[in-house]
Amino acid sequence: MQVMAEKGLLKRSERYRSHVYEARIAKEQTQRQLARNLVRRAFDGSAKNLVLGALSSQKVSAKDLAEIRRMLDEYEKRPL
């Protein structure tokens, strides 16, 4: 928790006897930051390798694959 507080992910309150931690940034922002770090560190910066690793790590339903395809189509249409 202390490390996460030092990285700015949590804020710590010492109002009470024990420390109280709260999220400092939104869940979605945290997930993007963690994904960015994971891609860089574990997959040599390759989003493709991250996706392939995730999909090959467990059985993926046809419904989930269809949803992923739909999301990728939407992502491609986004303006830069």
- Predicted confidence (pLDDT) per residue in 16-75, tens digit: 777 777 888 899 999 999 999 999 999 999 999 999 999 999 999 999 999 999 999 999
Asked whether 12 and 5 are in contact (CB, 8 A), the reply is yes
State the pLDDT at residue 23.
Answer: 84
**pTM, two decimal places:** 0.62
How far apart (Å, rounded) are the C-alpha atoms in residues 32 and 47?
12
Q: Is the pLDDT of residue 6 over 80?
A: yes
Q: Is the pLDDT of residue 8 over 90?
A: no
Go through 49-75 and write b for each residue having 16 or more CB atoms within 10 A of its CB, e for each that does not. ebeeeeeeeeeeeeeeeeeeeeeeeee
Q: Residue for token digits 């910066």? A: 45
